[in-house]
């Protein structure tokens, strides 16, 4: 766990610009919080929620290490229908 958090801290220091891939494949660039995070995106209204994925971070580092990779980055977006859109049905 210590390694995971060190890596997250490094990414935060670098202040990476978020690239946000839409479901149709188009890439959007947006300035999000500096801390690495993921997104839940409503495919109906476009609402975006920033979420943490500690399990994903651990998995990414573990699988990369297993294959001898370093300096690994990843992007993960989850698409669905938000609560407001479901309520509007
Ligand atoms: Zn974001
Ligand atoms: Zn929505
Ligand atoms: Zn991540």
pTM reported for the whole predicted model: 0.63
CB 38 within 8 A of CB 21: no
Instruction: Write the pLDDT tens digit of every residue in 41-66.
Output: 999 998 999 999 999 999 999 999 99
Distance 9 CA to ligand 2 centre (A): 31
| pLDDT score recorded for residue 11 | 47
| pLDDT score recorded for residue 79 | 95
| pLDDT score recorded for residue 54 | 93
CA distance linking residue 23 with residue 46, whole number of Å: 11
* Unique residue bearing structure tokens 């998995």: 59
Phi then psi for 68, rounded to 5 degrees?
80, 20
Distance 40 CA to ligand 3 centre (A): 13
- Can you give the residue range of the structural domain that contains 22? 2-37+50-75
Q: Answer yes or no: is 86 within a domain.
A: no
Distance 50 CA to ligand 1 centre (A): 5
Give the pair of three-digit tokens for residue 77. 């977006």
CATH number at residue 69: 3.30.1490
CA distance linking residue 23 with residue 42, whole number of Å: 10
Q: Answer yes or no: is 81 within a domain.
A: no
Q: Which ligand is nearest to the CA of 44?
A: 2
Total domains in the fold of the chain: 1
Select from 37, 35, 15, 17 the least CA-distant residue to 27: 17
| pLDDT score recorded for residue 65 | 96
Residues in the chain predicted with pLDDT less than 50, given as ranges, are 8, 10-16
Q: Which ligand is nearest to the CA of 87?
A: 2
| pLDDT score recorded for residue 43 | 93
């Amino acid at each position: 766990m210590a390694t995971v958090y060190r890596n997250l801290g490094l990414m935060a220091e670098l202040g990476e610009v978020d690239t946000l891939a839409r479901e149709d494949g188009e890439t959007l660039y947006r300035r999000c919080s500096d801390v690495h995070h993921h997104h839940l995106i409503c495919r109906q209204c476009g609402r975006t929620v920033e979420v943490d994925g500690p399990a994903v971070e651990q998995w990414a580092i573990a699988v990369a290490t297993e294959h001898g990779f370093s300096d690994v980055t990843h992007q993960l977006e989850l698409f669905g229908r938000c609560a407001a859109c479901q309520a509007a049905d």
